[in-house]
Structure 1
Amino acid sequence: MKINIFATADIHGRVVPYNYGTNCPTDNSIANLHSAYKALKDENSILVDNGDMIKGNFIEKFVYFHRHPAIEIMNFMEYDLWNLGNHEFNYGLDNIYRLMNDFKGTTLLANSNGNFTPYKIIEKKGIKIAFIGIETLFVNEFEAQQLGDFKITDPVDVLDSIIDEIREDVHAIIGLFHLGLSDENGVVHAGILSIIDSMKHKKYLDAIISGHTHDGFESFKYKDILIAQPPAYGRGLIKLELDFSEKKLNRINSKIIKSSDYEPDEDIIDIYEPYHKKILEFTNKILGFVDNVEGDYNYDLEDGPLVHLITDVMRFYYPADVVAFQLDSPDTKMKNGFLRRTDIARFYTYSGGEVSLYEITGSDLKEYMNWSSRYYIYEDGELKKNPKRQSFKYKTFDIFGNIKYILDYRKEDRITCLKRLDGSDILDEDKLIIGMNEYRMNYLMSDMGPLKYKNFQQISSSQYIQKGFENYGTIRELAEIFFDGLPENKFVYNGKTNFEIKY
């Protein structure tokens, strides 16, 4: 007998095949995946989601609506299980409980001190399969301010305890882990492999559906446990095939079903149409105007108008001595004229990016900049991307604004010039306020980071600016306030360059 488990993860608002950041149709969405699921499912099929459903592609604009469209779609598709992802916690526990109440399936979360369902046993023709939901420890860092005493706990003990409790009563145990393979930012048990290494009862865990890191892989075997991760953004789902004989699990296979191989489901298109129209109206609002910004720029290797715009937006929150950010959009080409919300989203792709403030020294800044520069390696007279650094979830080459610097790849200490805009040198002992993303700073101070012996305390963060019920402190949202404060709402690039890359 075969039981098929179909799994999605990290949908991030891709309900219909449309990217509201680029204002373009796509071929990936949950609507496409529903067509695939309808074509492939049978009476012995189980449908699960492994987190990060409610934020991304501007679907978060409906997070406080009476009905969240993501939950409406999940109910329409008859999802059996929903394992919470870290972005489900972006809007507080009360909102999670409300969404859980609206969801007709079962919501899972085993490793927390909250009141959640840790596991669910689903029976198909006498075969009992247990699903255990595990969340990333990084929720405690991402959402510390608004979750209060709620904590995500280390998953190892709770996994061993649950498995010990249920292993005699079920025929297979599947983990829904909103985690990647490796320990994120070097934090032990923030990755699947270190969790497995520490478990006492790992031999009873048959397979793990991964998520969070947006890697999307069909099959990875570790200590006889099959691990698979659905492609993010609705690009595909995992079909996990469990083959039983006399209620004994004989074999597990996994495969990726590509979204692009199926047309979007018309019913989902119709359900989402009112939301689609509202998002288009929202994203196409003109925020302001830009001038002297046209040109072909490689923003990793040269300064230009977008660097100055993001720098000014970040320093609008607080006039930091230096700001740091990354640009990983494939389309950063600017045009003179009006600038819409969708353009800001296209240029700056990280929807949760905020400005957090820390006091560092000039020496710390140099260490950070040298580490960042090693995203590229210099070989045979040309720059190449470092394969190891490309394996990170997010791009790790940062741009530094409001300072002057020269980055010379021909030298071991690549920072050959570091000055303030007034031309004065930034000395090792100088104290500086840096504005940057909290997630990046947490990595820099981790055991794997270049500033691992430091413990910088956050002075302030734009993520706690409130406007109505929503956080209003992301860089995208700060851009709106920034343009409101400009004469005639216009940003004009002054043509200056503040950094130079040599190789």
Structure 2
Amino acid sequence: MSTRNADLNRRGFLYGTAAGSALIALHPFSARAAGTQAHLRIMETTDLHVHVFPYDYYSDQPRDTVGLARTASIIKDIRAQATNSLLIDNGDFLQGNPMGDYIAYERGMKDGDMHPIITAMNQMDFDASTLGNHEFNYGLDFLMKSIAGSAFPVLSANVVLEQGASPTADKTLVKPYTILDRMITDGSGTSHPIKIGLIGFVPPQIMTWDRRHLEGNVTARDIIQTAQAFVPEIKEQGADIIIALSHSGIGEMNASDGMENASVPLAALDGIDVILTGHHHRTFPGPDYDANDVIDPVAGTIHGKPAVMGGFWGSHLGLIDLMLDHDGGQWRVITHSAETRPISKRNEDRSITPLVESDPDVLASVSDIHDGTLAYIRRAVGKTSAPLHSYFALVADDPSVQIVSNAQSWYIKQMLVDTEFSDLPILSAAAPFKAGGRGGAEYYTDVPIGDVAIKNVADLYLYPNTVRAVKVTGAQLKDWLERSAGMFNQITPRQADQVLLNPDFPSYNFDVIDGVSYQIDLSQPSKFDPKGMLINPDANRIIDLTFDGAPVDPAQEFIIATNNYRAGGGGDFPGAKGDTIVFEAPDTNRDVIVRYIIDQGTIEPSADGNWRFAPMPDTSVLFDTGPKAMTYISDVDMQIEQTGDGSDGFTRLRIQL
């Protein structure tokens, strides 16, 4: 590490000394620490997704619920409350909003260029980061050029260039771990050396999600097996404490090979003292997770060890406080606490109140990139004759999903001309990416009649996926739709006001397939669980499945236009396991949508109503959506009415089936 980088990291660790913060009350751990004890404060950001400014580029307006510049203001105060502190990012920082796309697709990254999120993180004196799964979305060359400018180590132990006999013999893409040699101040004001080990992990599913970039270039090892190999080595190198930077959610209790959300069994490993989690876009401690024998969502512990998940897009700062004791020749944790600090709060009237202002230095560090992003997103590419919105995308055929399907079909038809597949029927699968959920009551696509700009296309299609085409049978097609229908709870006939949506089912896995017609029978149980496992083999939610007016033959063959994530196995859909791909496009789905709009001039995005719920007399369900949905409620061909307020700013609707 350069002298400059070392100075930056040391300053980040010692910034909050009591001498420099006389006007701010010390944390109780700092105030009570004895001569052999020291307070260490660990701050975590996670899943930033390039959100530096408190700005929603999709709606082109400020937003008080996001932004690393806001989180930075919290960090300054928190550093001042502790005698010793670390600031760590837990991954998914390079991709996720139009600023990231502007850098990747418009400006580019040449050797020596600075990525804006790295610039902002350098400004804030981060001590370390780990790679998240979205760091790979733009390819390895872009990733490595982007992190080259970081004034802090970027870690990942399980992404491997060349595998050895064991993980510790691997040649990894970036450093697997680092040991920070620091001076820590005890309760008497005396400084002592301490070695802090940091090790990073990413879900091995990156090999599926970004196969086009990674296959043949890197491999990904299992998180738990990798940790079991490296943690003893880090201890042997003299680490007093070890912090796991786990860009992996809080999931199953027991380890299984290649698991995506491995933070719970990771916390069980001897030698790991602290778990920083992410990937789930939730907060921990807090009500997002249920308590059990090993998870305490009130105290913020997993297997008794402090753990934190600091929201997403800069919405929260994760915070762990450790009281350390110098016992013999080594520091050890004797007590701890965990919490998250939000940057905003939602009021009873649904309005948002910011709790902090933006750090002007962080804003200034990337202001030119912000301006460039605004110009990038405001370019008009065509017009729409009807509004494009996703408020009802989970309960009815929807214009925002329809336009994506239309564009994909239009593109694949051209690509398959004069191929062996040109005579097969072409269908298109698309899902609503912005449909509320964890993103909140404002997290919906809403494009008015008139000009359609690049910002609107990014809003319609959130991720930089590339187009794929797969060949499936009629049987696989039906099961693909059965998998999608897991979005809904089983509904009992002739009962009122049953909750419709399964909260564990993400909207991006609710594929609508255009080119066929079908109904969903909600009285049937789901054939698959939210993760895609077969649980009810005899269930048949998908009924009246037809193509060109005739029932679909199980042996009939179809082409389905989709994206690289789905075609490569993302979401675990029948017919989309990576072995049915017949065409891999060089173009992103967003680029295809832009080309389609330009080709059409004015698009007419009215949904064609190819799917609906099977009628269930005297039965009603409840569905939460964004408040702005009421503007469009008369356009929905369903018996639907508003019943009042849902939770967290949503509006609750009743649908008569």
Q: TM-score, normalised by structure 1?
A: 0.88
- 2:9 corresponds in structure 1 to none
How much does 1:340 deviate? 1.5
After superposition, the C-alpha distances for 1:424-445 in whole angstroms (9 at most, x for unaligned) are 3321111111122343455578
- The verdict on how the C-alpha distance between 1:213 and 1:16 changes in structure 2, with shifts beyond 3 A counting, is same
From 539, 544, 557, the equivalent of 1:431 is 557
- The verdict on how the C-alpha distance between 1:393 and 1:491 changes in structure 2, with shifts beyond 3 A counting, is closer
- The verdict on how the C-alpha distance between 1:455 and 1:83 changes in structure 2, with shifts beyond 3 A counting, is closer
Q: 1:103-122 to 2 correspondence within 5 Å?
A: 103-113=150-160, 114-122=172-180
- 1:417 corresponds in structure 2 to 544
- 1:55 corresponds in structure 2 to 95
**Cα contact 2:391–2:444 (8 A) shared by 1:** no
Deviates more, 1:157-166 or 1:100-109: 157-166
After superposition, the C-alpha distances for 1:224-260 in whole angstroms (9 at most, x for unaligned) are 3333211111101111111112232101221101122
After superposition, the C-alpha distances for 1:345-391 in whole angstroms (9 at most, x for unaligned) are 3333x32344322111111111221232231121424552444xx23
**Cα contact 1:213–1:393 (8 A) shared by 2:** no
Amino acid across the alignment from 2:246 = F
How much does 1:397 deviate? 2.4
Unpaired runs of at least 5, structure 2: 1-37, 161-171, 185-192, 286-296, 345-354, 414-424, 435-442, 525-538, 615-656
- The verdict on how the C-alpha distance between 1:295 and 1:188 changes in structure 2, with shifts beyond 3 A counting, is closer
Given the alignment of the two structures, is residue 32 of structure 1 paired with residue 79 of structure 2, yes or no? Answer: no
How much does 1:497 deviate? 2.6
- 1:96 corresponds in structure 2 to 143
Given the alignment of the two structures, is residue 256 of structure 1 paired with residue 340 of structure 2, yes or no? Answer: yes
How much does 1:182 deviate? 2.4
Deviates more, 1:110-119 or 1:425-434: 110-119
- The verdict on how the C-alpha distance between 1:16 and 1:369 changes in structure 2, with shifts beyond 3 A counting, is same
| Mapped partners of 1:244, 1:495: distance in 2 | 60
- 1:374 counterpart SS class: helix
| Mapped partners of 1:26, 1:444: distance in 2 | 31
- 1:75 corresponds in structure 2 to 122
- 2:609 counterpart SS class: coil
| Mapped partners of 2:63, 2:41: distance in 1 | 28
| Mapped partners of 1:445, 1:232: distance in 2 | 21
How much does 1:296 deviate? 9.4
- 1:175 corresponds in structure 2 to 244
From 210, 219, 226, the equivalent of 1:151 is 219
From 582, 585, 594, the equivalent of 1:480 is 594
**Cα contact 1:311–1:402 (8 A) shared by 2:** no
From 335, 347, 352, the equivalent of 2:460 is 347
How much does 1:132 deviate? 0.7
Structure number with greater CO (CA < 8 Å, separation at least 6) is 1
Identity, % of aligned pairs? 23
| Mapped partners of 1:239, 1:444: distance in 2 | 32
**Cα contact 1:12–1:53 (8 A) shared by 2:** yes
Amino acid across the alignment from 1:71 = I
How much does 1:131 deviate? 0.7
- 1:327 counterpart SS class: coil
- 1:384 corresponds in structure 2 to 499
| Mapped partners of 1:94, 1:495: distance in 2 | 40
**Cα contact 2:136–2:210 (8 A) shared by 1:** yes
Q: 1:85-484 to 2 correspondence within 5 Å?
A: 85-113=132-160, 114-122=172-180, 123-125=182-184, 126-147=193-214, 148-167=216-235, 169-182=238-251, 188-193=258-263, 195-196=265-266, 202-218=269-285, 219=297, 220-246=300-326, 247-260=331-344, 261-293=355-387, 298-319=392-413, 321-329=426-434, 330-348=443-461, 350-377=462-489, 378-379=491-492, 380-382=495-497, 384-387=499-502, 390-392=503-505, 395-411=508-524, 413-420=540-547, 422-441=548-567, 446=572, 456-462=579-585, 465=586, 472-473=587-588, 475-484=589-598
**Cα contact 2:99–2:370 (8 A) shared by 1:** no
- 1:468 corresponds in structure 2 to none
| Mapped partners of 1:406, 1:251: distance in 2 | 56
Amino acid across the alignment from 2:126 = Y
Alignment length (residue pairs) = 481
Amino acid across the alignment from 2:469 = L
| Mapped partners of 1:297, 1:222: distance in 2 | 37
After superposition, the C-alpha distances for 1:171-219 in whole angstroms (9 at most, x for unaligned) are 21110011112269x863322257438x7xx121112111222122225
- The verdict on how the C-alpha distance between 1:134 and 1:334 changes in structure 2, with shifts beyond 3 A counting, is closer
| Mapped partners of 1:6, 1:424: distance in 2 | 59
- The verdict on how the C-alpha distance between 1:404 and 1:281 changes in structure 2, with shifts beyond 3 A counting, is same
- The verdict on how the C-alpha distance between 1:245 and 1:414 changes in structure 2, with shifts beyond 3 A counting, is same
Q: Which has the larger radius of gyration?
A: 2
| Mapped partners of 1:444, 1:105: distance in 2 | 32
How much does 1:79 deviate? 0.8
How much does 1:407 deviate? 2.1
- 2:638 corresponds in structure 1 to none
Amino acid across the alignment from 1:480 = V
- The verdict on how the C-alpha distance between 1:137 and 1:296 changes in structure 2, with shifts beyond 3 A counting, is closer
Deviates more, 1:87-96 or 1:263-272: 87-96
**Cα contact 1:331–1:347 (8 A) shared by 2:** no
How much does 1:46 deviate? 0.8
Deviates more, 1:477-486 or 1:156-165: 156-165
- 1:14 corresponds in structure 2 to 51
- 1:204 counterpart SS class: coil
| Mapped partners of 2:211, 2:607: distance in 1 | 41
| Mapped partners of 1:116, 1:296: distance in 2 | 39
**Cα contact 2:248–2:262 (8 A) shared by 1:** yes
- The verdict on how the C-alpha distance between 1:395 and 1:384 changes in structure 2, with shifts beyond 3 A counting, is farther
| Mapped partners of 1:166, 1:193: distance in 2 | 19
**Cα contact 1:214–1:393 (8 A) shared by 2:** no
Amino acid across the alignment from 1:175 = A
**Cα contact 1:51–1:83 (8 A) shared by 2:** yes
- 1:469 corresponds in structure 2 to none
**Cα contact 2:390–2:400 (8 A) shared by 1:** no
Amino acid across the alignment from 1:324 = A
**Cα contact 2:382–2:602 (8 A) shared by 1:** yes
- The verdict on how the C-alpha distance between 1:441 and 1:139 changes in structure 2, with shifts beyond 3 A counting, is same
